[in-house]
Chain A
């Protein structure tokens, strides 16, 4: 395992660099890539640098980062977002993420497209959430929701921004479809690159190769075999019309993930959503939508207090978390930030990523003069002209 302590990994960008070295290009680009020209992917990050802090100086601060969302107490105002195929990043995949979240005192959201069964991961962290796609159709989703209910999952996150997979051009160039397919012959052109990462390959093969999707079980109880993301998402999207159906099956909080406009945020509230995630799927779906941070103020104006507001996409530092909360988020989701750590060093890498974000946020709150998450208010930031997209 590479050393992820300081000075080797000082920030999330260092973990990203370590992940890039560790992973075959096809896998790294699956994690790191975005749709089309990456306009939204880049803007997700650069929007944060346009938000200007206005600190309250010379006040005593011993920041308390604890908060409560969806009835769950968290030590820090961030959760670990669902990442499909995260077992490809490291065999420990979902286990590592759930366990590290537990150690950080926060929650983990498991993906429908995970390579590990929810029953195996849930015992590692009682702050356990489940993300829903309709992969495999309604019946598969119903079976998964029933299992989640039985496990005491705290809330469902329903993803609404995937009527079709985004155009992630790095994936076809790296032969992702061929590599995930069953036939051997089409894989051959892509094999040499993968052989250059023997340590990853050995672990991957020891883990049994590409795992099936045990959260998507057919009527026969068998897990759906893994396919590439474009096929997986072809019929996976949750529609507004599905909410009534899901409500009947699920007795617990529902969060709508993928809200990018105040109109859709209001619609989610009218549909009875307990929470929304302001998300553009990490820039992986429709390119040229706004950075999530740009639409957050307008969405917060529309629905703040009526539902729990999460934000994801682009969080790479604790200060980013502070900015999102100042602009109206109740909590944020982090995705690539922990996944880079996972790919770089398994459990230790996720721990390091969460430690970096936690220490960052603690320091940022001190420097801002904010003693609690509730103190992170719009007064502590300024937005340049033209920042918002409404």
Chain B
């Protein structure tokens, strides 16, 4: 797929444009969209341009990107974030994500709402983590834990920001509910748009249509896929759940969706091995801060007490450098690789990760930083009013 090389694809925005061409609106907007007015989603990205680099010039640099988080060695300080319904973006879905991560020397976090089973994903990459929603109830969740444990998954990412699905307006407009439901008639108005993407449609149908949820196995078997609004009903994890999760899982537990220093402290008090500073990419409560804005305050409170992972708006290697300078131990990238997956499957994921890696090497050279540990607050300034505490 030389179409993915420069100059066709130079940055993540190019992969996004290609994904937009390839996918039906319903699938692209599911990936690209966010909640309500998408104020937070935009701010996730805009906040990065309010962080100003202060480079150390004229020093010899040969950057080493390696780091270690949650007991796992990573060749780069970014991990692939869980994305529900990845198999809808491309039949290879989670396998492409895990495989691309493996080739980049990093980890992959498998979503509960995934179309490929834990076992197949583990075959792609030993640095795999499992993201937890309580879909299908506590027993179904425990079954998934047991499988993940037996397979050697490295940790759980427990998502706490989904008391209910955010109001993702594009999904309604695109008929996501009817399209994911069983009855045919309500789908009709939305079919012409989908038929205008025959290549996607052919692949989707060959893949067997909408996959079930092989990682949510209830007493009656794997749950069928539904739209995200329904999926997240009763799937929410509360602080009280951590106790039984801890009993059912002896390994690292990361709390994903922390947006305040108080919740970060609480996660530490509950014994979390890590937190993800995340607003779910602006897909849940609109009007929360761009996640980079709350990072400094959270770092001040819990740095050194738990692993701090940052998520939200990473589109360039320079963004990764900024989050690390502000105190994150590593970051998650989501849409950045998913655009690549939607555009070109495995090769697209590889290209996205290569762009981010090359960007980060260049940025560290230009900053005068040789290691991830040298990315410190001394290398950045914040515009006035940047922080939200």
Contacts and interface: CB of A to CB of B under 8 A. Distances in A.
Contact of B59 (A39, A240, A286): A240
A286 B321 CA distance: 12
Given A175-B7, A288-B318, A259 B54 contact: no
B56 A261 contact: yes
A52 to B, nearest CB: 17
Contacts of A285: 366
B316 A264 contact: no
A199 to B, nearest CB: 26
B381 A239 contact: no
Given A36-B316, A386-B384, A260 B10 contact: no
Contacts, number: 84
Interface stretch (A16-24, A159-167, A331-339, A369-377): A159-167
Interface in B45-89: 48-49, 51-61
A164 B362 CA distance: 7
Contacts of B381: 290, 389-390
Contacts of A163: 61, 365-366, 368
A264 B57 contact: yes
B11 interface: yes
Contacts of B6: 172
Looking at A39, A166, A174, A390, the one whose CB has the most chain B CB atoms below 10 A away is: A39
Given A167-B359, A172-B6, A389-B381, A288 B58 contact: no
Contacts of B366: 161, 163-164, 166, 285-286
A36 B355 CA distance: 12
A169 B10 contact: yes
Contact of B52 (A166, A169, A389): A389
B52 A173 contact: no
Looking at A163, A174, A240, the one whose CB has the most chain B CB atoms below 10 A away is: A163
Interface residues of B, number: 31
Interface in A50-80: none
A39 B52 CA distance: 10
Nearest to B378: A263
Interface string B165-183: 0000000000000000000
Interface string B107-149: 0000000000000000000000000000000000000000000
Contacts of B51: 288
A289 B49 CA distance: 10
Given A37-B49, A39-B49, A259 B362 contact: no
A119 B318 CA distance: 41
A353 to B, nearest CB: 29
A167 B57 contact: no
B367 interface: yes
A189 to B, nearest CB: 9
Contacts of B60: 239, 241
Interface string B1-26: 00000110011000000000000000
A82 interface: no
Interface string A287-308: 1111000000000000000000
B363 interface: yes
A173 B10 contact: yes
A205 interface: no
Contacts of B49: 37, 39, 288
A385 interface: yes
A160 B60 CA distance: 11
A133 to B, nearest CB: 12
Interface string A150-172: 00000000001101101101001
A contact residues, range: 35 or more
Interface in B265-301: none
B359 A161 contact: no
Contacts of A260: 54-55, 57
B58 A240 contact: yes
Given A239-B60, A287-B318, A161 B52 contact: no
Nearest to B355: A167
Contact of B11 (A169, A258, A264): A169
A290 B52 contact: yes
B40 to A, nearest CB: 20
Looking at B366, B383, B384, the one whose CB has the most chain A CB atoms below 10 A away is: B366
Interface string B88-104: 00000000000000000
A232 B60 CA distance: 17
Contacts of A213: none
B388 to A, nearest CB: 16
Contacts of B316: 36-37
A161 B55 contact: yes
A239 B367 CA distance: 13
B58 A261 contact: no
Interface string A244-261: 000000000000101111
Contact of A239 (B54, B58, B318): B58
Contact of A289 (B10, B48, B54, B59): B54
Given A36-B316, A163-B366, A169-B11, A261 B55 contact: yes
B3 to A, nearest CB: 13
A116 interface: no
A240 B58 CA distance: 6
B284 to A, nearest CB: 27
Contacts of A289: 52-55
A97 interface: no
Contacts of B368: 163
Contacts of B55: 161, 260-261, 286, 289
Interface string B371-389: 0000000000101110000
A37 B45 CA distance: 12
Contacts of B362: 164, 166-167
Contacts of A164: 362, 365-366
Contacts of B384: 385-386
Interface string B306-320: 000000000010100
Interface in A250-281: 256, 258-261, 263-264
A36 B12 CA distance: 11
A186 B49 CA distance: 35
B53 A286 contact: yes
A173 B5 CA distance: 11
A358 interface: no
A361 B322 CA distance: 38
Contacts of B54: 260-261, 289-290, 389
Given A264-B58, A286-B53, 13 more contacts: A37-B316, A161-B57, A163-B366, A167-B362, A175-B7, A260-B57, A286-B367, A287-B318, A288-B48, A289-B53, A289-B55, A389-B381, A390-B381
12 contacts: A161-B55, A163-B365, A164-B365, A169-B11, A239-B59, A286-B53, A286-B363, A288-B48, A289-B55, A290-B54, A386-B383, A386-B385
Nearest first, the 5 A-B pairs at minimum CB distance are A386-B384, A286-B366, A160-B58, A172-B7, A160-B57
Interface of A: 36-37, 39, 160-161, 163-164, 166-167, 169, 172-175, 237-241, 256, 258-261, 263-264, 285-290, 385-386, 389-390
